[in-house]
């Protein structure tokens, strides 16, 4: 449910955090952003979000907590059980996977498992506007990387996803 920035600024701390956790499941990010209220405009909120996220990237636990809030690409069904609070956002973001050929989806599922086995976290990509084949190509291109590189890549993709979800939460800027 969309709300205005003025409404968000007046929510209780707990409610503001709960709303932010639908955009990114890093509890430190949500707490820090809620504490930074009030925001004068949506751009100020986005800039503060970016700043907080950038600082949290030095803490792997914060990154992994945020990454854990995502279903695996191509595994939208798991979304309904494990990630109810991000269901609407993630289902739309992964809509490119919905029309893919079975062989691409199978390769994507296998690639995701290979990625998880190698790095210890799921493949994070800003999926909006990307086909399943494009996501598979990105996954295969990133799979040879080392873990440090992938933490950095995934953190950058997470921030793009968070910004999209914040914009959806508050409507057009």
Gap between the Cα atoms of 154 and 160, Å rounded = 10
Gap between the Cα atoms of 6 and 170, Å rounded = 10
| Helix residue ranges per DSSP H, 57-101 | 60-67, 77-82, 87-93
> Choosing from 31, 54, 70, 92, which is the catalytic residue?
70
Gap between the Cα atoms of 52 and 152, Å rounded = 15
Gap between the Cα atoms of 151 and 74, Å rounded = 21
Identify whether 54 is a catalytic site residue. Answer: no
Gap between the Cα atoms of 122 and 45, Å rounded = 27
Catalytic residues: 70
């Amino acid at each position: 449910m969309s709300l205005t920035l003025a409404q968000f600024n007046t929510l209780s701390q707990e409610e503001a955090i709960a709303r932010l956790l639908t955009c990114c499941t890093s509890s430190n990010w949500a707490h820090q952003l809620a504490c930074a209220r009030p925001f004068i405009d949506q751009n100020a909120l986005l800039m503060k979000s970016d700043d907080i996220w950038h600082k949290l990237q030095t803490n792997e636990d914060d990154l992994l907590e945020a990454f854990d809030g995502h279903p695996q690409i191509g595994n939208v069904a798991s979304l309904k059980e494990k990630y109810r609070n991000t269901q609407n956002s993630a289902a739309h973001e992964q809509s490119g996977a919905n029309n893919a050929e079975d062989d691409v989806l199978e390769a994507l599922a296998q690639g995701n498992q290979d990625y998880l086995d190698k790095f210890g976290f799921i493949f994070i990509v800003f999926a909006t506007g990307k086909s399943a084949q494009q996501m598979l190509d990105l996954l295969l291109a990133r799979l040879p990387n080392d873990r440090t590189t992938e933490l950095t890549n995934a953190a950058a993709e997470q921030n793009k996803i968070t910004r999209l979800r914040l914009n959806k939460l508050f409507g057009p800027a």
